Structure 1
Amino acid sequence: MNTALFNLGFRPFFLVGAAFAVFSMALWVGPFFPTALMWHAHEMVYGFAVAIVAGFLLTAVRNWTGIQTLYGLPLAGLVGIWLSARLLALSKATLPWAAFLDLVFLLALWAAVSWPIVQVKQRRQWGILTCLGFVVLGQLIFALGEFEVWRAGQRTGILIGLYAVLGLIFILGRRVIPFFTERGVGYPVTIKQYPWLDRWLMPIYSLFAVLVIVFPEIVVDRLLAMTLAVLHGIRLAGWHTPGIWRKPLLWILFVAYGWLIIGFALYGAGMTSLAVHAFAVGGLGGMILGMICRVSLGHTGRNIHQPPKAVGALFLLLMTAAVFRTAMPLFFSEYTVVWYRLAGITWIVAYLGFLWWYAPMLWQPRVDGKPG
């Protein structure tokens, strides 16, 4: 296939994922699907977020293992399955086919990612495979709810997917944020690491996620959430150095991680809906936008220290969306619908900006002539 778009996984999946972030949010804030709450929640996790995860992992696994991941026609086929599922999910009449294709897509993705890791016996990546496996499980459970086999299946499946993707963010964030910071601030710095945090954070988070899904809104959930807020705050403070604020591709990762901490604090305070949107909009949405802006530069042969000048504004727009969706309804609840609309609009503009500046990079060959 003679096109750079399908040379490596990040190219098509970052493109369609960002486009879907715009399209799906436009439908949600517009008059088209005013009551489709489950559609919105499902598509944000299993449509938008999973597409970006697919692009990142299909690219990263090649680097980690030295084994070529999907490219060319097989990669185009996987993208086609994802796109077909998104289109079929727009109509109630075709939801069974959408659910089926989502499962096919996720199983194929899990196989494509796990095979190289298993081949080289990289035990370090097993946590990533486990999180991705829970995403597959979540989609299966969502489908059972969709077909009225399990009454709570839709909610349960969406939450499993959300917390599994957040688990991926925590695993990958622990690796890349200190690494990017030490090499990106422009002066010598040694990031503070706390081995005891590394040992305990994921087990505590896993327990929190299980309890939130199985026994929602109990006292133990809230205590664990507050504990996670404190522990992640300690970790983030250890990573911090003042130079990050001069580098948009760095500060967005810190601010997005901060939104994850805010999400835990809100959950601990009993504000479940606001917590979920702090996780999803500020945390997940911010981390995704920051990472795809950086990865798209590096893997197209461009200088990661010289991003388009507009990226800082795009990041500010997305953080504004998070404020509109979480903080403003908390303090000015009489205008809640207005804040929701403004959050959706600023989210749309942020991801439209990514498409404007980065889409040509994604479909054009690398500027350094290297493969990928």
Structure 2
Amino acid sequence: MSTSERMRNYHGPVLLSHGFRAFFLISALWAALAMAIWVAMLGGAEILPLAFDPFSWHAHEFLFGYLGGVIAGFLLTAVPNWTGRLPVMGMPLAGLVGLWLLGRVAVAVSALVDWRLVMLIDLAWVLSLAAFLAREILRGRNWRNLPVLALLALFTAGNALFHIEAARGDPAFEGMGMRLGLAAALILIALIGGRIIPSFTRNWLAARGAKHLPAPFGRGDGLVLGLTVVTLAGFVAVPEAPAMPWLMLACGAAHLWRLARWQGLRTGAEPLLWVLHLAYALLALGFWAEAAAGLDLIAAAPARHVWLAGAIGLMTLAVMSRASLGHSGRALHAGPGTTALYLALIGSVVLRLLAGLLPAQVWLLHLSGTLWLLAFGGFALLYLPVLARPRVAKKPLSGARHAA
């Protein structure tokens, strides 16, 4: 049975008809709820029976919890389009979503359960996702996407190491597991972002008769990705090495060079596009922020949030909104509501940086958290009709891959 036939013959809940529907919705809801819990924790509330220290729980649930859910939604949607094979839907998808939710609960009550069991529960969903991805890539002979499988494996290893470090009583939020998971996520953004951002931009500009189009992938892009791998490997293994700030500066400059070739300044009329370019710019600027922290010019926490809240937060919100619109048959255009979500998240990132740079300004943290909550809670509310209702129009699935 072909992918399109499988989709036509599916009669279950719409939310379980494609990976992006359920995972994008619950990930956005979790991003909002976890931020509300974190803001309450900042005020001194002890809400959850955590084995993790509060900072480690906050870091874990946004990197391995929220981001992990978004990655699952993206890959479960993109891989069938990459390979031409059947999507995961119905009860198997419900099982995967259930495992992800169980992981969030296990971590939230980790003080009540042996840490080894918490780790196994939390890893179950991502190991299942990796098994699906490996099967699809190998059977579909889609060797081009083997690096995505390798990055997912590194992301999973980072999560496991995070649990081990937390069980030892180490500050896991700044440990090797956190750095490994973050590095895998950033390379994934550089790899996938380098495919979709110039592609989406080229299609949009070409449709408007523009003469200047994004440069195609070339040797320079490959060198930038290679430098990124080397730099982030050092970030994971030897973050205090004297050469690291300079390597970070070089890598950030290389990504800005790459971004400049994609004609982002010509996309101001379409928020679905300029937000992708801005998110990638924050990836580049995150390297510079880490360099500044390594040279003791700024504190480590605000520097790290350029990547965590900025590059990852904004890129995932951009991809979730675009993929949700495209795969549900709607026009690829950001209306006022979606644009407001982007602006709220941008404001959250700016305020988080200011909170780290200005002393004793806790109210900025609260305001930043509130804007984050509005951005992702707003996504869940605004996109619930998009995600929970059938496609509004039938389109060839070959075109849908451009919306992933």
Shorter-chain TM-score bucket reads over 0.9
1:308–1:357 CA contact under 8 A, matched in 2: no
- Which position in structure 2 is the counterpart of 1:115? 135
1:232–1:261 CA contact under 8 A, matched in 2: yes
Alignment partners' CA distance in 2, 1:291 and 1:33:
34
Residue 85 of structure 2 is aligned with which of 67, 78, 82?
67
Task: Give the TM-score taking structure 2 as reference length.
Answer: 0.86
Residue 106 of structure 1 is aligned with which of 120, 126, 146?
126
1:85 paired to 2:110: no
- Which position in structure 1 is the counterpart of 2:197? 177
**What is the aligned-residue identity percentage?**
33
Q: CA deviation at 1:195?
A: 2.2
Q: CA deviation at 1:33?
A: 4.9
Residue 333 of structure 1: SS of its match in structure 2? Answer: coil
Q: CA deviation at 1:144?
A: 2.0
1:11–1:363 CA contact under 8 A, matched in 2: yes
1:69–1:113 CA contact under 8 A, matched in 2: no
1:131 paired to 2:148: no
Deviations 1:129-167 (A, max 9, x none): 11111011112212222333x957662212211111111
- Which position in structure 2 is the counterpart of 1:315? 342
1:17 paired to 2:34: no
Alignment partners' CA distance in 2, 1:120 and 1:363:
29
- Which position in structure 2 is the counterpart of 1:284? 312
- Which position in structure 2 is the counterpart of 1:340? 365
Alignment partners' CA distance in 2, 1:123 and 1:103:
25
1:76 paired to 2:102: no
1:259–1:278 CA contact under 8 A, matched in 2: yes
- Which position in structure 2 is the counterpart of 1:97? 117
- Which position in structure 2 is the counterpart of 1:53? 71
Alignment partners' CA distance in 2, 1:327 and 1:213:
26
- Which position in structure 2 is the counterpart of 1:296? 324
2:393 maps to a residue whose letter is D
Q: CA deviation at 1:111?
A: 0.9
Q: CA deviation at 1:171?
A: 0.5
Q: Which stretch of the first structure deviates more once superposed, 97-106 or 45-54?
A: 97-106
Q: CA deviation at 1:216?
A: 1.7
- Which position in structure 2 is the counterpart of 1:143? 163
Cα pair distance change 1:217/1:240, threshold 3 Å: farther
- Which position in structure 2 is the counterpart of 1:353? 378
1:263–1:274 CA contact under 8 A, matched in 2: no
- Which position in structure 2 is the counterpart of 1:233? 256
Alignment partners' CA distance in 1, 2:74 and 2:186:
14
Deviations 1:182-227 (A, max 9, x none): 1124332421346232221222212222222221232221111100
1:269 paired to 2:292: yes
1:187 paired to 2:197: no
- Which position in structure 2 is the counterpart of 1:223? 246
1:358 maps to a residue whose letter is Y
Alignment partners' CA distance in 1, 2:155 and 2:34:
20
Q: CA deviation at 1:240?
A: 2.2
2:252–2:285 CA contact under 8 A, matched in 1: yes
Residue 137 of structure 1: SS of its match in structure 2? Answer: helix
Q: Which stretch of the first structure deviates more once superposed, 108-117 or 75-84?
A: 108-117
Residue 2 of structure 1 is aligned with which of 5, 12, 36?
12
Residue 109 of structure 1: SS of its match in structure 2? Answer: helix
Residue 29 of structure 2: SS of its match in structure 1? Answer: helix
2:228–2:251 CA contact under 8 A, matched in 1: yes
Q: Which stretch of the first structure deviates more once superposed, 38-47 or 359-368?
A: 359-368
Residue 246 of structure 1: SS of its match in structure 2? Answer: coil
2:103–2:123 CA contact under 8 A, matched in 1: no
Give RMSD over aligned pairs: 2.0
Deviations 1:91-142 (A, max 9, x none): 2213543321121111100011121111122221011111111011112212
Q: Where do 5+ consecutive residues of structure 2 fail to align?
A: 1-10, 48-52
2:209 maps to a residue whose letter is Y
Residue 108 of structure 2: SS of its match in structure 1? Answer: coil
Q: CA deviation at 1:62?
A: 0.6
1:138–1:161 CA contact under 8 A, matched in 2: yes
1:309 maps to a residue whose letter is P
1:294 maps to a residue whose letter is R
Residue 315 of structure 2: SS of its match in structure 1? Answer: helix
1:249 maps to a residue whose letter is L
Residue 342 of structure 1: SS of its match in structure 2? Answer: helix
1:248 paired to 2:271: yes
Q: Which stretch of the first structure deviates more once superposed, 51-60 or 103-112?
A: 103-112
2:301–2:356 CA contact under 8 A, matched in 1: no
1:313 maps to a residue whose letter is A
Alignment partners' CA distance in 1, 2:166 and 2:24:
28
Deviations 1:242-288 (A, max 9, x none): 33111110111111111112211111112432221000111110001
Alignment partners' CA distance in 2, 1:357 and 1:259:
25
Residue 261 of structure 2: SS of its match in structure 1? Answer: helix
1:367 paired to 2:392: yes
1:201–1:228 CA contact under 8 A, matched in 2: yes
